[in-house]
Amino acid sequence: MKKQIEFTRAPIVVPPQPGKLREIGACVEFHGIVRKMENGRVIPALFYEAYEAMARSQLERIADELNAAHPCDELCLIHRLGPVPTGEASMYLRVLSRHRQEAFDFAAAFVTRLKADAPIWKTPAPASQCTAP
Amino acid sequence: MKKQIEFTRAPIVVPPQPGKLREIGACVEFHGIVRKMENGRVIPALFYEAYEAMARSQLERIADELNAAHPCDELCLIHRLGPVPTGEASMYLRVLSRHRQEAFDFAAAFVTRLKADAPIWKTPAPASQCTAP
């Protein structure tokens, strides 16, 4: 499985679709978006931090584990760090596979495992960090 | 649930993401892509046909049924008709929801129901119909 895992402090730009992959039948994408309500409170943004090197190796390990159960061909993950305003994506995931169910199952499980097991944290951001650059 | 269902005879153009939806936390997208192997044979394309009006009303009904089990906010489906060359998408689906699991479950089930229950058919296309315009 080809794995591309990136962290960015800028708004996520979805990378172009790969060229024609003649054995790929399914592309599943997920955008995790910051909602204005977090734990019952209106927030202007969330602030994300990560141990990048550890998170990357952990996520690669998670991908390999999930790939054994849900065989897929490619994974692209972009996770934003720093302040992410309400309504913007903190995470973008793309999974390519031959058949669709594997991609759906892989993608859903990968996000769950990322949130549970990867050293990436979120905290409400102070309003001063949420203004556009 | 807001539903947008379209058929097109041109390559699918993914519509822009909706503006900032402050209570949307998940956007799941699916591209169903024509593979070069269909039932063990190499094909240049597939050819899709539909009873459009019936397919649309059937898909709206399926969406309402699924929404009862997996509550989501918006559905956008674009299905291509006519010849779709290998490597291109025959279908694009976008589902928006407050929480991610509903969107994953809705999207996976919607594609399965579309293939099982909507009056949309595919046949291998003759090579002469597969050249780019």
Distance from CA of A31 to the nearest CA of B (A): 5
Mean pLDDT is lowest, of A5-9, A125-129, B39-43, B83-87, for: A125-129
Domain membership flag for residue B95? yes
Q: What confidence category does residue A133 fall into, taking pLDDT thresholds of 50, 70 and 90?
A: very low
Domain membership flag for residue B17? no
Domain membership flag for residue B63? yes
Q: To the nearest whole percent, how much of chain A has pLDDT over 90?
A: 79
Closest CA to A111 of A63, A50, A49: A63
Domain membership flag for residue A17? no
Mark which residues 86-125 of B lie under 8 Å from A by CB: 86-89, 98, 100-101, 103-104, 107-108, 111
User: Mean pLDDT over residues A106-123, rounded?
Assistant: 96
- Looking at the partner chain, which of A26, A36, A86 has a beta carbon nearest the beta carbon of B33? A26
Q: Tokens representing B60?
A: 């709206």
- Composition of chain B by helix, strand, coil, percent to 5: 30, 40, 35
Q: Is the confidence at residue A113, as pLDDT, over 90? A: yes
Q: Is the confidence at residue B7, as pLDDT, over 90? A: yes
Task: List the strands of the sheet with A82-85, edge to edge.
Answer: A82-85, A45-50, A120-124
Task: Return d(Cα B99, Cα B15) in angstroms, integer.
Answer: 22
Question: What CATH code is carried by the domain that includes residue B7?
Answer: 3.90.1170.40
Q: Is the confidence at residue A107, as pLDDT, over 80? A: yes
Distance from CA of B39 to the nearest CA of A (A): 13
| Helices (H), ranges, chain A | 52-69, 100-117
pLDDT at A38: 77
pLDDT: is A71 or B17 the higher one? Answer: A71
Domain membership flag for residue A47? yes
Residue pLDDT, tens place only, A50-94: 999 999 999 999 999 999 999 999 999 999 999 999 999 999 999
Task: List CB contacts (< 8 A) between B88 and chain A.
Answer: 20
ipTM: 0.92
Distance from CA of B127 to the nearest CA of A (A): 16
Helices then strands, each counted (H, E), chain A = 2, 9
What is the DSSP-derived secondary structure letter of residue A92?
E
Residue pLDDT, tens place only, B31-58: 999 998 877 888 889 999 999 999 999 9
Task: List CB contacts (< 8 A) between B38 and chain A.
Answer: none
What residues make up the domain containing A39?
A: 2-12+22-127
Instruction: Considering only CA atoms, give the Rg of chain B.
Output: 15
A128 CB neighbour count, 10 Å cutoff? 8
Q: To the nearest whole percent, how much of chain B has pLDDT over 90?
A: 79
Distance from CA of B54 to the nearest CA of A (A): 25
- Looking at the partner chain, which of A22, A37, A107 has a beta carbon nearest the beta carbon of B87? A22
Q: Which residue shows structure tokens 């597969």?
A: B130
| Any B CB within 8 A of A28 CB | yes
Domain membership flag for residue A132? no
Q: Tokens representing A46?
A: 């969330």
| Helices (H), ranges, B13-125 | 52-69, 100-117
What is the DSSP-derived secondary structure letter of residue B127?
G
Q: Tokens representing B53?
A: 């009006």
Task: Return d(Cα A54, Cα A118) in angstroms, integer.
Answer: 8
pLDDT at B39: 79
Report the chain A residue with the minimal C-alpha distance to residue B37.
A23
Q: Tokens representing B8?
A: 């097109």
Closest CA to B54 of B129, B119, B125: B119
| Number of domains chain B contains | 1
- Cβ of A86 and B22 within 8 Å? yes
| Any B CB within 8 A of A57 CB | no
Beta carbons of A3 and A61 less than 8 angstroms apart: no
Average pLDDT over chain A reads: 91
Domain membership flag for residue A133? no
Average pLDDT over chain B reads: 91
pLDDT at A54: 97
